[in-house]
Amino acid sequence: MLAVEDTHAALELSSGWFLENAWLIALIPAIGFALIIGFGKKMPMKGSEVGLASMAASLVIATGAGIQWMQRTDSASHGDAEAIGGAFSGVRGALSASESGQVEPYIEPVVTQWVWWQNSGLEFGLGSHIDGLSVLLLCLVAFISLLVQVFSLDYVRGDRRYTHFFAALTLFSSGMLVMVMSSNMVQLILGWEIMGLCSFMLIGHWWEDAYNSHSALKAFFTVRVGDVGLLVGTAILFFGANDFAVANLDSNGFDIRAIQAWALSGEGSSWTLIMASSALFIAAIGKSGQFPLHTWLPDAMAGPTPVSSLLHSSTMVVAGVFLVARIYPVFWEGFNIANGGVSFIAVIGGITIVVAALLAFVQDDIKKVLAYSTVSQLGYMMLGLGTGAWLPAVFHVFTHAFFKCCLFLAAGSISHSGSHHSFDMKKDMGGLRKFMPVTFGAWCVSTLALTGVIPFAGFWSKDEIIDNVGANGYTFLFWVGLVGAALTAMYMTRATYLTFFGEPRGAAAGIHHDDAGHDEYATEFREVVISSTDLVAALPKSLSAAANVPGDDIEHDAEGDPAHGGHHADEHDDHGPHESGKLILFPIVILAFLALTSGFVNPTPLAGDALGANLGEGVELLKKYVEPRYEPVAIGEAAGHAGESIQLLELAPLSAAEAGADGKDAYATGCGRSTPEPGTVCFFPKVKHAVPELSKILLSLGVVALGYAAAIGFCMAFYKNKNPRLVGLTERSRIARGGYLFLKNKYYLDVLYQNVFVYFVSRPLAKATYWVNQNVIDGVVNGVGTSGKKAGNWVYNNIDQKIVDGAVNASGTVASETGHGLQPVQSGKVNQYGALLFGAATVGAIVLVILNVS
Amino acid sequence: MAVGWTVNLHALIAQADAEPSVNIALNIGFGLIATVMIFAAFSVVTTKNVVHAALYLVLVLAGVAAQFILASAEFLAVAQVMVYIGAVMVLFLFGIMLTRAQIGKEDGLNNQGWQLGIPVAVGLFGLLGYVVFNTFEDDVLDERAPFPTEQLSDQYLSAYLVPFLAVSFVLLAAAIGAIVLARKD
Amino acid sequence: MLAVNFLLLAAVLFCIGVFGVIARRNAVLVLMSIELILAAVNLNFVAFAMMNDNIDGQVFALFVIAIAAAEVGVGLAMVLMIYRNRKSIALDGLSEMKG
């Protein structure tokens, strides 16, 4: 019943078991999901072992496929060298002068496909389409999923829906893998929707809380708005590309390769391409949280932290980016990226970078800061794709997954062990670096990576995006990218400061949020407030923390604080801050390591002279293995006699290369620049690669450093100003605490404190501090100058709340009013429904008959 | 044609087999059965006695079985008689008894707004009639021998194997579901 | 015999069934009306099978019979449960879905 169709490569490319059977990567988690749902509750580890095992198996196969893909690419290069070596040895010198050094043939993806279902001659396939991009993302998704599941083992331990949580995580991974390896748009939609469903299930994992349930609905419906675009775009592409695909490639208009080839063939009208790419980009906006539809992503943080980490930062939200990258030729032609057209994608990406970064300033919830940061980084990826920087955008997907996942897991670790399940940075965090050194270290590494500091991963990818945006002629967007980089440094500094530096507040100081939360006075003045229930146990540590504000000698609190030990004795195991367990730290440390190193997969500046290293192009692994080559491919070549045709085909790029050697634009012709020769098709446009320059690298690093300097500078200034007063306050309040020991009542303490000491001595200082707190912390540190905060607030209040939410609310109101009008129809009586159903069907059919007859 | 009101169905079929042209006797037989069916169906939806409604339904379903024979679907006719008249009707009668319907005439079997059904049904019929006449005006059903049952079974066990299995699961699920719903805990 | 004969008979049965579904208040009678509709559909299937000289129509008719049996079983079980809970099987009393 099932027939395997192997598409043979045009060149004699090596293949392998892993490449041919890559579909297992997605199938194993799907089976794992079924097993967990079916038998998970009876298993010794409640089904989590199945999830972990299936992700590990996927990762193994994905890695194998990655290695074999690299071998395949290498074999093409060697075979190619032998094939054209003789005939073109004379011109190889000229060739190596061109950008790529040698003509690199297009590497056919390995497509394994079954007919899923067919309808009137149209076959819908289900299978795997393995090329560099999909291999990269397959490995990434399997890897991150595995780590997040390890993290979840401890994080959601004891949850009442533990088994379902792992089931949904596994199904999500399966959906993402299906989408990433899809060979046609129908399969892509399948995976896309599985992810949407899992996102909904996981955001609403704790649905008993109405907020979570609403957030899940919001995420689902917002993404669904975009999904309409996906369906419309797919339909447009099908009707546009089908004839071409049937005639030339023996496939149909849903096939991704056919769509790529059609878009670059010049046969589609520009209007069709614009419509299709706009519709598809709307889908990407919804899924990847781009500007008008970004509102669901911060709310999606209502889900458990592993979910935020896996779905809403590193993998699922890049589905939109992946969609654009996958059928890039459509966008390339549709938005005229080749000629530097100001594309929809680039504009939306640019807006998203700045808007989301500004919004990140005014959030107190650590996960929301990271969520807006994710939105902002996704904006970078879109910006890159929209301006022709395909490879840097994909590279940024790769690096961003590691460091953002790490940041989220660190936030999860903090809330799990440091802040008593709170995510509020202002209320329940602060000073945690002492208690959670490993988490702090990982957080710092990832923050440096996110902000693009030089040896860390984010630098290589983000800087490459910005560099390419500038090199492709988008000067304004280049500056937008730089401003975004500075803003990133600032809000991450704020988040880091509030979380890890300063003094412990709220739960971080061992205080129950519930008991102390309403006591704004105490928390705002960073006076340690002791809950009445745990007074004796909490006191010594609080005292020591308060007493050691200027000094650094409370490291022992991390492990061996006696008060802390005392906490373990009482009913709240995680009452005071402490470092998380090994299962939580293990993924964080691995991710932090990758956040440091993953950038060296494609360090473009090192390949040239920009940093004085000049290691050659060999270090640009992604460029070699992931980016599809832009050489045209002859139609309908079987593997056997491919050599000749390839030789002939090399003539076209040769002339282009020679034109380049003449000093003119090498990008005037070639795939995506001009119509391919008759009998050939292109699968990928000839994208430019910016040559890194030291000056530009220094510029972007300088901007980031400026951002850091501004943020840290304000912080330091503020705390240097404030510290003496604060110490003064604590010195006095120590006496107050002496009274407190007798009174055992914190409100009483507050009254005493206020009446006896503060009112006469400290109150003016306190007032000043309060003023500084309001106007400097919130106004200056938060936004680095009130303008930052104001802009953030303005954007939040006007654009986010009024325009975006207004539009959402307006549509809701319209729906609600219509609903009221139609309410009598909903009588609840089955017979009336039946009458309506049949009556409406009759009327509809009569209308159709009349239309058809006349 | 001298076919009286006491027309025998089997004789009709034998005649049909003998003369493969448009058969007036067959048409008359069809018309008679159809008249009875329509009358009975109408009674099902209008009678004031629930038990009578069930018995009228038996008449309609038996008529359908007869029409199946005329349309050379013998196996289906037998299945119709066994499943509907044998099993489904018994279920219906049990349902009527278990819900303690009045034996005899009963008011309030219709909704308040039952008149709404008339325009809908009439409109639907107008539409269907028009479409059917327009599309199949002159199509003649050729007289033919009944489809052999093994042909049917071949279809079930080859091309329609998966749906066939699925239907058996549906039946199983329905049986279990009915038990779960109806049992008293 | 004309194809129209069967198809019109089926149309009449179908419309009577629809009328019954709309007009009847007693749940058992509604189920019976649904049986009428299904019988009409079966007639159509068989007529088309004969017209096209293709047995697939009969295959589907048998599927419909099987599904109808399942439907009646579950439907009557539901009616029984409704009766047990409310001591009535009048459908207009079941208006919890009122909007």
Tell me which chain A residue has its CA closest to the CA of residue C23: A831
Nearest chain C alpha carbon to A833: C22
pLDDT at A782: 53
Chain B interface includes A827 (CB < 8 A): no
The larger pLDDT score, comparing residue A264 to residue B38, is at: B38
Residue-level pLDDT at C33: 93
Output the pLDDT for position A783. Answer: 53
Half-sphere exposure of B161 (CA within 13 A, CB side): 4
What pLDDT, on the 0 to 100 scale, is given for residue A694?
A: 80
C-alpha distance from B104 to closest chain C C-alpha (Å): 15
**For residue range A451-479, what is the model confidence (pLDDT) as tens digits?**
888 788 888 888 888 888 888 888 888 88
CB contact under 8 Å between A831 and C97, yes or no, is no
Contact state of C20 with B117 under an 8 Å Cβ cutoff: yes
Q: What is the pLDDT of residue A369?
A: 85
pLDDT recorded at residue B102: 66
Report CB contact under 8 Å: C67, B167.
yes
pLDDT of C90 over the 70 cut: yes
pLDDT at A728 over 60: no
pLDDT confidence of residue A101 = 44
| pLDDT tens digits, one per residue of A41-68 | 777 778 788 888 999 999 999 999 888 8
Work out the minimum CA distance from B170 to partner chain C, whole angstroms: 7
Q: Which CATH class is domain B9-106+113-146?
A: mainly alpha
User: Nearest-CA distance from C81 to chain B in Å?
Assistant: 6
More confident: C8 or A251 = C8
Contact criterion met (CB < 8 Å) for A838 and C18: yes
C20: nearest Cα among B89, A830, B66: A830
- pLDDT for the residue numbered A8: 40
Question: C91 contacts in A (CB within 8 Å)?
Answer: 829-831
Residue that wins the pLDDT comparison between A151 and A819: A151
Q: Are A150 and A52 in contact (CB under 8 A)?
A: yes
Look at residue A624 and tell me whether its pLDDT is greater than 50. yes
Portion of chain A with pLDDT greater than 70, in percent: 70
> Does A834 sit within 8 Å of C18, measured CB to CB?
yes
Give residue for tokens 């450093």: A705
Specify the pLDDT at position B14: 53
Nearest CA in chain A to C98: A828
As a whole number of Å, the CA-based R_g of chain C is 17
Chain C positions touching A826 (Cβ under 8 A) are 97-99
Q: Is A839 in Cβ contact with B120 (below 8 Å)? A: yes
* Interface probe with B: pick from A1, A2, A846, most Cβ of B within 10 Å: A846
**pLDDT tens-digit readout, A379-398:** 999 988 888 888 889 999 98
- Provide the pLDDT for residue A571: 36
Comparison of pLDDT for C91 and A616, the residue scoring more = C91
Q: How far apart are the first and last CA of chain A?
A: 45
Q: Which residue would you say has higher pLDDT here, A436 or B161?
A: B161
Report the distance separating Cα A317 and Cα A354, nearest Å: 18
> B92–C32: do the CB atoms touch at under 8 Å?
yes
**Is C99 in Cβ contact with A826 (below 8 Å)?**
yes
**Mean pLDDT lowest among A551-565, A628-642, B21-35:** A551-565
Q: Is B140 close to C11, i.e. CB distance below 8 A?
A: no
Structural domains of chain C ordered from first start = 7-87 (1.10.287.3510)
Please tell me which chains touch A, using 3 or more CB pairs under 8 Å as the contact test: B, C
Mean pLDDT calculated for residue range B7-19? 51
The residue-averaged pLDDT of B124-148 equals 84
| CB proximity A831 to B under 8 Å | yes
pLDDT of residue A771: 60
Amino acid, res. B35:
T
Whole-number mean pLDDT of chain A? 73
Of A483 and A605, the one with more pLDDT: A483
pLDDT in tens, A78-134: 654 444 433 333 333 333 333 444 556 777 888 888 887 777 677 787 888 888 888
Which residue did the predictor score with more confidence, A830 or A320?
A320
- Evaluate if residue A660 carries a pLDDT over 80: no
Q: Give the per-residue pLDDT at C46.
A: 92
User: Are the beta carbons of A361 and A792 closer than 8 angstroms?
Assistant: yes
A797 inside 8 A of chain B by CB: no
Give the residue with greater pLDDT, B9 vs A138: A138
pLDDT digits (tens, 9 = 90+) for A216-244: 887 887 788 788 889 999 988 888 888 88
CB-nearest partner of C96 from A828, A835, A838:
A828
A829 with C92: Cβ contact below 8 A: yes
Nearest to A509 by CA among A782, A206, A730: A730
pLDDT on residue B170? 92
**In this complex, is the C-beta atom of A668 within 8 Å of any C-beta atom belonging to chain C?**
no
Residue with tokens 């034998």: B14
A831 to C94: CB separation less than 8 angstroms, yes or no: no
pLDDT mean over A145-162: 85
Band the pLDDT of A804: cuts 50, 70, 90.
confident
pLDDT tens-digit profile of A687-713? 777 777 788 888 888 888 888 888 777
Q: How many CB pairs under 8 A join B and C?
A: 254
Across residues A789-804, what is the average pLDDT? Answer: 71
pLDDT band at A314 (very low <50, low <70, confident <90, very high): confident
Report chain C residues whose CB lies below 8 A from the CB of A830. 30, 91, 94
Which of A838, A842, A843 to mutate to probe the C interface, most C CBs <10 Å? A838
Q: Which pLDDT band, with edges at 50, 70 and 90, does A525 fall under?
A: very low
Test C3 with B140 for CB contact under 8 angstroms. yes
> Residue A195 burial (CB < 10 Å; 0-12/13-18/19+)?
buried
Closest CA to C61 of A664, A86, A392, B83: B83
Q: Which of C22, C23, C95 sits opposite A827 (nearest CB)?
A: C95
CB contact at 8 A, A795 and A358: yes
Within A664-823, strands assigned E span: 680-681
Task: Classify residue A327 by its DSSP letter.
Answer: T
pLDDT value for C34? 92
Mutate to test the interface with B, among A842, A850, A853 (most CBs of B within 10 A): A842
Count of A-B CB contacts under 8 Å? 27
- The interface predicted TM-score (ipTM) is 0.90
CA distance C94 to chain B (A): 12
Chains contacting chain B through 3 or more C-beta pairs under 8 A:
A, C
B15-24, B117-126, C44-53, C56-65: range with lowest mean pLDDT: B15-24
Q: Name which of C38, C59, C81, C83 to mutate to probe chain B: the one with the most chain B Cβ atoms within 10 A of its Cβ.
A: C59
pLDDT band at A545 (very low <50, low <70, confident <90, very high): very low
Q: Do B120 and A829 touch (CB under 8 A)?
A: no
CA closest to C18 among chain A residues: A838
Whether pLDDT at B18 is above 80: no
Cα–Cα dist A465/A395, whole Å: 9
Please indicate if any CB of chain B lies within 8 Å of the CB of A846: yes
Rg for chain B, CA atoms, rounded? 20
Distance from CA of A34 to the nearest CA of B (A): 20
Identify whether the C-beta of residue A226 lies closer than 8 Å to the C-beta of residue A283: yes
Spatial contact of A265 and A323, defined as CB atoms under 8 Å apart: no
- From the list A825, A829, A834, the residue facing C21 with the nearest CB is A834
Each residue's pLDDT tens digit, A820-832: 776 666 666 777 7
CB contacts, 8 Å: C21 with chain A:
831, 834, 838
A831 vs C91: CB contact, 8 Å cut-off? Answer: yes
Closest-CA distance of chain A to residue B133, Å: 13
The residue among B174, A374, A340 whose CA lies nearest residue C75 is B174
CB-nearest to C7 from B116, B118, B136 is B136
**Beta carbons of C25 and B111 less than 8 angstroms apart:** yes
- Cβ-defined contact of C95 to A835 (cutoff 8 Å): no
Mean pLDDT of chain B: 82
Which of 799-838 (A) contact C at CB < 8 A? 819, 822-823, 825-831, 834-835, 838
CA dist list (Å): A201 to A54, A154, A161, A302: 20, 20, 11, 12
CB neighbours of residue A482 within 10 Å: 22
Mean pLDDT of chain C, nearest integer: 88
Alpha carbons within 13 angstroms on the beta-carbon side of residue A614 total: 2
Gap from A821 CA to chain C (nearest CA, Å): 11
CB A692 within 8 A of CB A610: yes
